[in-house]
């Protein structure tokens, strides 16, 4: 059963305003169940046999303040890697320091900033490629199309968040999702099977996303797919729990070997976790 299988959570967050206060101008202040200190993450991981996790910095709570993620990386004793939110003009030396601290990539979030915000980031992508850091893209609906030219002209590793956040009401042929599938078939990217509540139009078990997950697994293959919980589910429309998400993945990836690739082999290789 999936709950006993070794796992790497490839998308989660640390939210701890008691230790790391929000900036006065933060656009969203997580509260209630969204508060997610490192100790809570560790307990959640241990209960579900999650050996490692990729902690993603958040735009809404902390922006370029990476203190919570840096703290987790320092305390994790190799259990974590990080994805940073950075200024578009960040210097190479600063990126190198983040890499040394345990960050393996940076995040672009056009669902938050729009696509024009990233239009002139070619220099940043070249810095990422030079340091072997990856670019993580969160885009929704057709936004992904705006990144194709950037990707084509940069020798940077790419990971796409939350299944590309397609609109299930439009269907599999929507241009942004088809472009993502083409990138997968070309071996140019990895994709996160994650964030179901971010794009499903239904409540759990998110039946409307099944065709999209199946198409991604076929185009990317399990060797280029990873799973993420999106814990603690910021702005979720309803309560979400960790174990039901894992069990939902088990129904969508019923083959044990494919599931091991998605949950363990692929993220372990991609993010550089040890044995």
pLDDT of residue 275: 55
CATH number at residue 170: 3.20.20.140
The structure's pTM equals 0.97
Residues 74-116 pLDDT 10s: 999 999 999 999 999 999 999 999 999 999 999 999 999 999 9
Q: How many domains does the chain have?
A: 1
Measure the CA dihedral 77/195/147/131, to 10°: 10
Please give the helix or strand (H or E) that residue 99 lies within, else none.
helix 92-101
Residues in contact with 79: Cβ distance below 8 Å, sequence separation at least 6, in sequence order? 51, 52, 53
Regions of the chain with pLDDT less than 70: 275
pLDDT of residue 196: 97
Structure tokens at 75: 């305390």
pLDDT of residue 190: 98
Q: For residue 20, what are the domain limits?
A: 2-271
Structure tokens at 233: 């589910």
Q: Report yes or no: 53 and 79 within 8 Å, Cβ to Cβ.
A: yes
Coil, strand or helix at 60 = coil
Q: Report yes or no: 59 and 13 within 8 Å, Cβ to Cβ.
A: no
Structure tokens at 66: 């990476």
pLDDT of residue 274: 81
């Amino acid at each position: 059963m999936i709950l006993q299988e070794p796992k790497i959570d490839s998308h989660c967050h640390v939210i701890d305003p008691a230790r790391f206060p929000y900036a006065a101008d933060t656009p969203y202040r997580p509260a209630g169940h969204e508060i997610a200190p490192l100790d809570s993450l560790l307990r959640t991981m241990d209960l579900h046999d999650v050996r490692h996790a990729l902690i993603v910095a958040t735009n809404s709570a902390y922006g370029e303040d990476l203190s919570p993620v840096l703290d987790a990386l320092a305390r994790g004793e190799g259990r974590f890697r990080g994805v940073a939110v950075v200024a578009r003009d960040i210097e190479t030396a600063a990126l190198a320091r983040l890499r040394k601290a345990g960050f393996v990539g940076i995040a672009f979030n056009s669902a938050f900033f729009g696509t024009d915000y990233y239009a002139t980031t070619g220099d940043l992508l070249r810095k990422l490629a030079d340091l072997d850091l990856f670019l993580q893209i969160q885009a929704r609906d057709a936004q992904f199309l705006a990144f194709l030219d950037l990707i084509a002209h940069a020798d940077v590793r790419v990971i796409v968040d939350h299944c590309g956040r397609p609109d299930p009401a439009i269907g599999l042929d929507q241009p942004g999702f088809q472009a993502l599938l083409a990138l997968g078939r070309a071996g140019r990217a990895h994709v996160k099977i994650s964030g179901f509540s971010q794009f499903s139009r239904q409540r759990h078990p998110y039946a409307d996303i099944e065709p999209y997950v199946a198409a991604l697994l076929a185009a990317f293959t399990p060797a280029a797919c990873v799973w993420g919980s999106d814990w603690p589910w910021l702005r979720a429309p309803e309560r979400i729990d960790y174990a039901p998400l894992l069990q939902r993945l088990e129904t969508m990836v019923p083959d044990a070997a494919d599931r091991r690739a998605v949950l363990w082999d692929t993220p372990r290789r991609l993010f550089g976790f040890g044995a």
